[in-house]
Structure 1
Amino acid sequence: MKKEIIVQSSTNDTRVAVLENDQLVEIYIEETIGDRLVGSIFKGIVENVLPGMQAAFVDIGREKNTFLYVEDAIPDNSYGKNGVKINIRDILKVGQEVIVQVSKEPLGTKGARVTRQLTLPGRYLVLMPTVDYIGISRRIKDEKERERLQEVAEEIKHPNIGMIIRTVAVDATKEQLEEDLNFLVSVWKKIEKELALPGTKRLIHKDLQLVERILRDVVTEDVDKIIFNSSFDNEKIKGFLGKEFSKYKIVLTNQADIFAEYNVKAELANALKRKVWLKSGGYLIIDQTEALTSIDVNTGKFVGSIDLEDTVLKTNLEATFEIARQLRLRNLGGIIIIDFIDMQYEKNQEMVLTKLEQFLSRDKTKSNILGITSLNLVEMTRKKVRRSLSSIFETTCPCCDGKGRIFSVESVCTNIKDELMEVAGRTMAETIMIKSNPKIISSLKGQGERKIKELEQKIGKNILLRIEESLLINNYEIKAVHNIE
């Protein structure tokens, strides 16, 4: 599979696109003067403890307090072990000083989520300074390689400091792992010195900027090419990749908009649409709500050539790839319900689930498929870490307030007429003024202003119509006018 990473930096922001077989599958965006919180470590103060929610609010000096669940409140990750669950009141007290790390960005009205289980990610491993443990990525399936990495980790491990070996560490040498570990330990020692200084509700450590994180977390041996615009140079990139620099084809270009050349802009525009077309002529309908995301699969223009079951199966199988891609591209998280087209045979259902799992395995963000119901609904979850694409590029419509539907012109006109009758019945003024959108005014007038004249006769008042371009179609103003200037 062909895999490319495109890094486009400007004075306003840095954007990174990940392409697989020339298709956009992931997008990362960070403002040049960013305020990204995930990975940052703070010294905070417990503001409130909520036994009913088994959680606490921690003030880290930001606009909103952060949220700390009980399972994240124990630094050594021992919550629930040996069947013993601990009450949040036994761990935290109001006014207590705590060291926390942001695990989820603030979303909507919710503050950031934090944990006391600190981690420092490196190229090959993740340092866990608060636990004494060695873990190996579950994505590493080869048992011999797992055993080798376990042995190396035990040899290089520092006392009382844990680590998790990352997937990218497959075939990495002992020297590479040790170099990565020593660097992370040196970072932790700097953090400890900062923690020893007085003062709370302050930033202790901030994670790397976007490009460095991409080179650390996303660039793996299956990447064919990394393309940068003129804001970067070979030495800077080499500093990020170190000895691995020679493994990758690095392309530097002076082109200001390399996203346009690789069709990233068009792909992004499509990723914000509700309907996603499949190559066969079928399509997906993707709807996001606060609680969950629903994805509906439809045959659309695809009529097949054998029988209905074959047509349905082919559409559903094609949809599995696009669903997995859209989840990554839109960065959809939480509960996800997929409404596949009804399939008669259980073997076909299993085939669709297997394909979906296969395509989701390319996703670095953890997901969990819970199964398929008798209604062909697939229930799954995907971890929420970053903001969704929609929340970055879009805002709630002031006209429909996020519903996606607004009152028709006829409905608004009916409401205006009802309110007009009410105002006319309680005012001595001879004239009533209506301010509204041009479409509403036009509909109220009718052809040759026939409708408005009939309305004036009905209420026994003069009606003054005023076009207000700034008013949305469902907004209007009605008021009695005593003096007309």
Structure 2
Amino acid sequence: MSKCLILSKNTYETKLALLEDNKLDEIYIEREKEKEISGNIYKGKIEDILNNGEIIFVDIGLEKNAFLSFDNKKHIPKFNISDSLIVQVETEARDEKGARLTLDYSINGENLVLLPNSNNLSISKKIEDLETIKKLKDIFLNIDKGLILRTKSVEKSPEALLEEYQKLETIDNQIKKDFKEKNIKLLYDNNSILKKALTLLDDDIDEFIMDDEDSFNKIKNNLEESEKKYLLKKMKKYFKDEDIFSYYKIDSQIERALDRKVYLESGASIVIEKTEALVSIDVNTGQNTGNQSSQNFIFNTNLEACKEIARQIKLRNLAGIIIIDFIDLKKNSERKKILEELKKHLKKDRTEINSLDFSHLGLVQFTRKRQGKELSFYYREKCHYCEGTGYLLSKDRIILNLLADLNSQIEYNDLNKIVIKTKKHIIKELKNLINNTKIKYIEDNNFYKEGYRIELYN
């Protein structure tokens, strides 16, 4: 399998794509005015305290105050208005809520995660060998800060892991120093797209192609400073006139990732619907079963859908409760195989996924941690006419509303002239229903929400 990183930068945004066999697998977007803040560490100032400290509103320099909340009422730390504190964004602001914060901040490395306010040592659940776990724990016996060891840590030497720990500790010391000495809000930016690129760039990547000279040099300098010069040979500059995302057919793949319906190679499809409460994914069969029996075809369609569902969830950055309705899974043996296949593909997701199982209704249900913005945020906005429902008023409903409105106006006003502005096919219907010489009709397609406008002249 070939893997390639593509970076595109212009004055408005920077985009980073990960391709596997020319197929878009991950996409990251950074805009100066719309930067992601999840994971960023700030110097916050307490603005308000509610419910005896259970909820604390904190100014971290955003348009809307962020908040801390404490579920354990017995261990609520004591703070006062105007106190300063180090906080990290857990989830970004959405709808009417400000960003959610935590006091237990963490600093991510390539193989380690430093937890400065903890002393617990945790190891990735994907590392199962007991002897390997013991060896990893022994490396950090004399460390007094909390750590999480990622899956890739098994591939590193003790010296390399200790060196990475020291670098993370240096970052933490700088955060604490800036907190005490500087009057700034942002103490540590966790969302730089170049940081993300350096995290993704490893031995598995075949090429890293960039269309921006400045980004190329920054990546190059970082690799040289971190003793990763062996990765420099993977870096290439893009010089063609055609836009780099267009040339590698990334733009067209992004457009498909925004569609409600996604087709599979077999002709089957998955339909992705997002509501305020959850994300639902429905698997549908295609028309052609080939030489397979109906039951085999259904099972193979479900199996095929698992890979694409995992890819679409990651690409779209869907979060919260996710429910999947596979086709007609009656046998427990088939359910088990489908669940194993889905878990296999979701394991590649870098975002935390929990509670993956079949519900009592026969639907697969799980949660995915909310981290950053959805892909649709950068490409779509809610329709002002249908207010995000996807529906407009039907022709009959527009006519009935218009007639009721018109009768009310005629009853209470002495009018010389009435102008009705609406669509051509509605005007045709109205002329058959209304016989009034005072009414003049004007074709106008601009009234999407109500479907018409009535103008009255005395």
Normalised by the length of structure 2, the TM-score is 0.91
Residue aligning to 1:121: 108
Closer/same/farther in 2, CA of residues 8 and 90 from structure 1, 3 Å limit: closer
Contact 1:413 1:444 in 2 (8 A): no
Contact 1:8 1:228 in 2 (8 A): yes
Residue aligning to 2:426: 443
Instruction: Please give the alpha-carbon distance, in whole angstroms, between the structure 2 residues aligned to 1:60 and 1:206.
Output: 13
Residue aligning to 1:250: 235
Q: Give, in angstroms, the shift of residue 300 of structure 1.
A: 2.5
Range 292-301 or range 306-315, more displaced: 306-315
Unaligned runs of 5+ in 2: none
Instruction: Please give the alpha-carbon distance, in whole angstroms, between the structure 2 residues aligned to 1:406 and 1:210.
Output: 39
Instruction: Please give the alpha-carbon distance, in whole angstroms, between the structure 2 residues aligned to 1:207 and 1:347.
Output: 43
Partner residue of 2:252 out of 256, 266, 269:
266
Q: Give, in angstroms, the shift of residue 326 of structure 1.
A: 0.6
Instruction: Please give the alpha-carbon distance, in whole angstroms, between the structure 2 residues aligned to 1:49 and 1:236.
Output: 43
Residue aligning to 1:285: 271
Residue aligning to 1:195: 179
Partner residue of 1:183 out of 167, 172, 195:
167
Instruction: Please give the alpha-carbon distance, in whole angstroms, between the structure 2 residues aligned to 1:51 and 1:473.
Output: 42
Contact 2:382 2:388 in 1 (8 A): yes
Range 37-46 or range 106-115, more displaced: 37-46
Contact 1:309 1:343 in 2 (8 A): no
Contact 1:46 1:93 in 2 (8 A): yes
Closer/same/farther in 2, CA of residues 187 and 226 from structure 1, 3 Å limit: same
Aligned pairs, number:
454
1:393 aligns with 2:379: yes
Instruction: Deviation per CA, 1:90-115: give whole Å up to 9, x if none.
Output: 54455543321112222233211111
Q: Give, in angstroms, the shift of residue 374 of structure 1.
A: 5.0
Residue aligning to 2:453: 477
Residue aligning to 2:39: 39
Residue aligning to 1:236: 218
Closer/same/farther in 2, CA of residues 233 and 429 from structure 1, 3 Å limit: closer
1:214 aligns with 2:197: yes
Instruction: Deviation per CA, 1:358-389: give whole Å up to 9, x if none.
Output: 01011111112432135431111111111111
Instruction: Please give the alpha-carbon distance, in whole angstroms, between the structure 2 residues aligned to 1:65 and 1:379.
Output: 33
Contact 1:342 1:375 in 2 (8 A): no
The CA RMSD over aligned residues, in Å, is 2.5
1:132 aligns with 2:114: no
Instruction: Please give the alpha-carbon distance, in whole angstroms, between the structure 1 residues aligned to 2:47 and 2:215.
Output: 46
Instruction: Please give the alpha-carbon distance, in whole angstroms, between the structure 1 residues aligned to 2:7 and 2:185.
Output: 31
Closer/same/farther in 2, CA of residues 49 and 330 from structure 1, 3 Å limit: same
Contact 1:124 1:166 in 2 (8 A): yes
Closer/same/farther in 2, CA of residues 130 and 471 from structure 1, 3 Å limit: same
Instruction: Please give the alpha-carbon distance, in whole angstroms, between the structure 2 residues aligned to 1:406 and 1:453.
Output: 24
Instruction: Please give the alpha-carbon distance, in whole angstroms, between the structure 2 residues aligned to 1:319 and 1:473.
Output: 37
Instruction: Please give the alpha-carbon distance, in whole angstroms, between the structure 1 residues aligned to 2:22 and 2:46.
Output: 48
Closer/same/farther in 2, CA of residues 353 and 87 from structure 1, 3 Å limit: same
Instruction: Deviation per CA, 1:83-139: give whole Å up to 9, x if none.
Output: xx4347554455543321112222233211111011122233222222223322233
Residue aligning to 2:209: 227
Instruction: Please give the alpha-carbon distance, in whole angstroms, between the structure 1 residues aligned to 2:450 and 2:222.
Output: 54
Identity rate, percent: 33
Q: Give, in angstroms, the shift of residue 435 of structure 1.
A: 2.8
Instruction: Deviation per CA, 1:297-320: give whole Å up to 9, x if none.
Output: 111224253322211101110111
Range 8-17 or range 248-257, more displaced: 248-257
Instruction: Please give the alpha-carbon distance, in whole angstroms, between the structure 2 residues aligned to 1:341 and 1:474.
Output: 39
SS at match of 1:297: strand
